[in-house]
Amino acid sequence: MYPRVGRSGGRCGMKVFRYQDVSAESIEGGAFCQKASIRRFITTDISKDFRVFIVHFPAGHRTRWHMHSSDQVLYILDGVGIVADEHTQYEVAPGTFVLIPAGEKHWHGAREDSHLTHIMVLRADSEEVMMECP
């Protein structure tokens, strides 16, 4: 986190994070069909409302089909990937926002020829249902 500057008047509720200060955690299984890395910036330990992670997929790696009990927002930072519902696959690239409605079956991940890095935002109390790999 960034150091505090000036006087906070006792309690400083705002939290400011630097990318390099949040460790990447390698993950395989669970929501992911292959390996991915995740940086958990905002968790339920520090926010009652949101979870905010940065997820990195190596080329060709993706999530399982899954659903959330709340809307999910993705913002593409780097690479080229695919976000798919049961009917359509959408190609996504840096600068793309994706809103996935609550209850929509979907998957997301990197194209075969590119990695993908995105920001993921969910409500803190959102529940996930995991299904098969696409």
pLDDT at 10: 47
Predicted TM-score of the model (pTM): 0.89
Whether the pLDDT of residue 5 is over 70: the answer is no
Residues 6+ apart with CB under 8 A from 27: 35, 36, 37, 38
Number of H helices, E strands in the chain: 0, 11
Q: What tokens does 70 get?
A: 């709340």
pLDDT at 19: 92
List beta partners, residue 118. Answer: 55, 76
Whether the pLDDT of residue 67 is over 50: the answer is yes
C-alpha distances in angstroms, 3 versus 8, 13, 17, 21, 54? 12, 13, 10, 12, 22
Q: Cα(95)–Cα(78) distance, rounded to whole angstroms?
A: 9
Whether the pLDDT of residue 4 is over 90: the answer is no
* pLDDT-derived band at 13, boundaries 50, 70, 90: confident
Whether the pLDDT of residue 11 is over 70: the answer is no
Whether the pLDDT of residue 63 is over 80: the answer is yes
> How confident is the prediction for the chain on average, in pLDDT?
93
Return the domain boundaries, the chain: 19-130
Burial 73-102 (b: 16+ CB within 10 A, else e): bbbbeebbbbbbeeeeeeebeeebebebee
pLDDT at 3: 59
Q: CATH says 19-130 is which class?
A: mainly beta
pLDDT for 16-38, tens place per residue? 989 999 999 999 999 999 999 99
